[in-house]
Structure 1
Amino acid sequence: MADKGAEPTIRDVMVLLTAVSSRLQCLETKMSVMDSIEKRMENFENDMKRLWVVHEDRAKKVEERVLRLEDKVDGVDIHAAELVERVQVLVKERDTLREDVSYLQSQSMRSNLIFTSVPEAAGSDIETPEVTEAKLRQHLVSAFKLTQEVATSLRFERVHRSPGSPTPGKIRNIIAKFSFFKDREMVRKMWKELDGTEYRVFEQFPPEVVMRRRQLVPKMKEARRLGKRAYLAYDTLYIDGNPVRA
């Protein structure tokens, strides 16, 4: 380049123009890159807009589904509450039916007494109902201290051993259904004659009632130990006249 203060030559001008052209080319290159970046940004913005629209659409659908599910859940809750209420009603009806069945069974057993430890036929011999009844009458004379005349006068609808086959070393109970309830009560009230013996006599009840009575026996014994008047009637314990149920 020419010295300072001298007029620039064409060569100097060409050098400057070349430098300017080179810089312009660099700027153009950068501008094209900027244009490319701007286009990419525009595409990115468009993609983001499309994604946002899709997101909003999906969010709206999800919200609608949630609302429908909430409505269904509310309906299910109402239905479940109705079912629970219905089940409670059915449970009460079942319990009532059980009570009714137990009561009817108890009524059918009202004239029955169970006698324990009365010897039965040994070995493989099958004891007929007639033999069982004869053994029971003799048992009422020997254990209950009834006269032979009274024992003979008693009338039974049925006398039989407990269900099942005879088992060596075990004696099946005798179940007697009296024809007259007053005869049954007369025999039952003589249970104290069996004190000190291996024999016992019981009223017959359905299994559910037997279970309740067993649960009440400890309370009855404790009440009697305390000097209170306590007795069992059906499935209820009475202590000094007040009912207690299992």
Structure 2
Amino acid sequence: MSSVVARVQEHEDLLNDIQINSKVIEESVESIGKIVDTALNHCNRNTDTIENIENRLLAIETDDRSKHKEKETIKQMQETITDLKCRSMKSNLIFSGLHFQQNEICEAKIQDFLESELGINYRVSFGNVHRFGKPGLNGVRPIVARFIYRRELEHVLSQTYRLKGKRFGICEQFPPEIENKRKELYPVMKKAKMVGKKVKLVRDKHYINGKPYNNTTASKKQTTEDRDVLLNNKFSFTINGSPPIPPRRFKRSRNDSVGDESEKSILSTHM
């Protein structure tokens, strides 16, 4: 009887352990479920956040594209305005260095200047002639003259070589944005002329030997070519018109000096 009671007690203890373990498992499953629910909630929130970020990025990209289009439109408008300015100034020449006089008539002054300095003895047809801008180096403002006929303007420009070494100057009129670009190209033109190249400046476009000049890519190539041409010119000038350049001195070894002495002795015996 005692053995039966012991076995029953053993089974009861085992059953209690099973119940306790089952309760622990239930609590663990419940906590795991809560963790899964929390993770799902976080995942959903992250998904919403990612979608929000993607929408904002898409809006930014769309805004950037629209801004880029606006910049391109503004650039095209600026180029159009500059082109219109150039066209309106196409028939204008600027005369600098002419002294100012009270109650002067600018058109008559330009007519006298063309005849006395450029040898143009016919009456040039002008539309409007007046002083403008800031005073130049001589303290007087330049005069701008609008020509009626293009051929007369070109004739005046063809005679500007007569002003070399004088205080006067004649140039075409351009908008400030074009004139600033031209000033940057003047040194390039001068350097190209020095090496015998044909140069031409049309508005702000520079052509060397008939090819357009690219300031970013062609500058290195042109510098190398100009240096080679200058060196060749210098070498030919040295050969044709200058005395020979003595050789550079160099260190001589003892063996070289001994060899020279032996050569001298051989030459003296033959002589």
TM-score interval w.r.t. the shorter chain? 0.5 to 0.7
CA distance 1:114–1:245, shift in 2 (3 Å):
farther
What CA distance in whole angstroms lies between the structure 2 residues aligned with 1:236 and 1:167?
26
Q: Which residue of 2 aligns with 1:231?
A: 200
What CA distance in whole angstroms lies between the structure 2 residues aligned with 1:234 and 1:76?
45
What CA distance in whole angstroms lies between the structure 2 residues aligned with 1:198 and 1:206?
24
Q: Which residue of 1 aligns with 2:184?
A: 215
- Ranked by relative contact order (alpha carbons within 8 Å, sequence separation 6 or more), the top structure is 1
What CA distance in whole angstroms lies between the structure 1 residues aligned with 2:185 and 2:137?
33
Q: Which residue of 2 aligns with 1:66?
A: 46
Amino acid in the other structure paired with 1:160: H
- 1:197 pairs with 2:186: no
Contact 2:136 2:142 in 1 (8 A): no
Report the CA distance between 1:204 and its aligned residue: 0.5
- 1:158 pairs with 2:138: no
What CA distance in whole angstroms lies between the structure 1 residues aligned with 2:130 and 2:142?
9
What CA distance in whole angstroms lies between the structure 1 residues aligned with 2:183 and 2:46?
56
- 1:118 pairs with 2:88: no
Map Cα deviations across residues 99-150 of structure 1 (whole Å, 9 max, x no partner): 11111111111100000011112xxx5x56xx11111111112222222xx1
**Greater C-alpha radius of gyration:** 1
Amino acid in the other structure paired with 2:213: V
- Sequence identity, in percent? 27
Q: Which residue of 1 aligns with 2:221?
A: none
Q: TM-score, normalised by structure 2?
A: 0.62
Q: Which residue of 2 aligns with 1:22?
A: none
Secondary structure of the corresponding residue to residue 118 of structure 2: coil
In structure 1, list runs of 5 or more residues that go unmatched. 1-45
Contact 2:125 2:148 in 1 (8 A): yes
What CA distance in whole angstroms lies between the structure 2 residues aligned with 1:169 and 1:197?
12
Report the CA distance between 1:79 and its aligned residue: 2.1
Q: Which residue of 2 aligns with 1:97?
A: 77
> C-alpha root-mean-square deviation of aligned residues, in Å?
2.8
Aligned length: 189
Q: TM-score, normalised by structure 1?
A: 0.68
CA distance 1:144–1:168, shift in 2 (3 Å):
closer
> After superposition, where does 1:155-194 map in structure 2 within 5 Å?
155-163=125-133, 170-194=139-163
Report the CA distance between 1:74 and its aligned residue: 1.1
Map Cα deviations across residues 184-203 of structure 1 (whole Å, 9 max, x no partner): 11111111011010111010
What CA distance in whole angstroms lies between the structure 1 residues aligned with 2:207 and 2:130?
32
What CA distance in whole angstroms lies between the structure 1 residues aligned with 2:212 and 2:154?
22
